[in-house]
Amino acid sequence: MAAPSLDAVETNAAARYATGLTLVGFGGIVLSGDIPLIRLSESGFYTVVLVRGALSSLAAVFLWWLARRLGRASGPLIAGRLGLFVTGLYAVATLTFLVAVYETKAANVVFILALNPIFAALLSWAIAGEKPSRATLLAIPATLFGVLLIIGAGLEAGHWIGDLAALATAFLIALALTLARRSRQDMRYASALAAIVPALIALPFVVTGGGIESEAVGWLVVNGAILMPLALICLAAGPMFVPSPVVSMGYLLETVLAPIWMWLIFLERPSNLSLLGGGVIIATLGIHAFVELKPKHRILGAGPKMTKR
């Protein structure tokens, strides 16, 4: 059986990269609706953690089961020991994120979590042997600059425990993405499945606190059953197609777009620095995608070369 031609290999690689960017971009955009839907539901904190986490994990299991029934599943729900470890990383990251939210200022959390792309680039280089492209290396500080503009001069020092927890969250997510990328296995359900851990932790607080606390629980159900699993599955599937630093930059889309949705829905206008920072991040991600895909689109457009008879 003849080996595939170089053109066929390059064309397939280009298509996979384009698929990965599409998944990451779509996942980041969908994830940006998380905060607005939580606000619309007018729910208590532990209610949000319980309902969103439980529904997200159940939705992931259902989608995996449905894919298997339709003959489209490419692997088990959890891909062996490494898949279980990656799922555990996502679960711990969720818990450290909650600690960070409680123990330090929100501005500190956002800024420290923006270190995710840097961690992903370094870990991808050290663990997976993938040296970041020049475009990615240039995009990382540009996106960090955009986040810094969003925070502006309002960055305040918080408690060191919360700051360390936020730092751990950024590192754990980057590590999970990198290990998933290195394994080349299908771990798209890992992040959504991990949401069951904080849900179980929140359960006793909801039970002892008088039950579900929500004025419009329907929005919370839409968020947990549809929005969150869709976003998390797309983002977790990204490492199968593109390097983990590229996937990690997709998470920054929530930082940019969520304030815009809040402005449109609740008339909470972002500051001028927030708008400027959001513009910097969107422009950077757009230019990065264009630069990375330009040579690949040329390959796709050219198609396989015809050999002379």
Please give the full DSSP string across 183-251, using - where no structure is assigned: HT---TTHHHHHTHHHHHHHHHHHHHTTS--BS-HHHHHHIIIIIHHHHHHHHHHGGGTS-HHHHHHHT
Q: Indicate whether 269 pLDDT > 80.
A: no
Neighbouring CB atoms inside 10 A of 203's CB total: 15
Whole-number pLDDT of residue 286: 75
CA separation for the pair 91, 57 (Å, rounded): 11
pLDDT tens, residue by residue, 4-29: 555 555 667 778 888 888 898 899 89
Per-residue pLDDT at 222 exceeds 80: yes
% residues pLDDT > 70 (the chain): 83
| Separation CA 148–CA 141 (nearest Å) | 10
Residue with the bigger pLDDT between 150 and 189: it is 189
Whether 136 shows a pLDDT value over 90: the answer reads no
Asked whether the beta carbons of 262 and 36 are under 8 A apart, the reply is: yes
Cβ proximity of 284 and 253 under 8 Å: no
| Position with higher pLDDT, 236 vs 292 | 236
Query: Quick one: pLDDT at residue 306?
Result: 40
**Longest Cα separation, the chain:** 79
Q: What is the pTM of this model?
A: 0.74
The rounded distance, in Å, linking the Cα atoms of 67 and 74 is: 9
Exposure b/e, 244-270, CB count within 10 A at least 16 = b: bbbbbbbbbbbbbbbbbbbeeeeeeeb
Higher pLDDT: 116 or 60? It is 60
User: Tokens at residue 107, please?
Assistant: 């501005």
Residue 43, SS3 per DSSP: strand
Mean pLDDT throughout 217-221?
Answer: 92
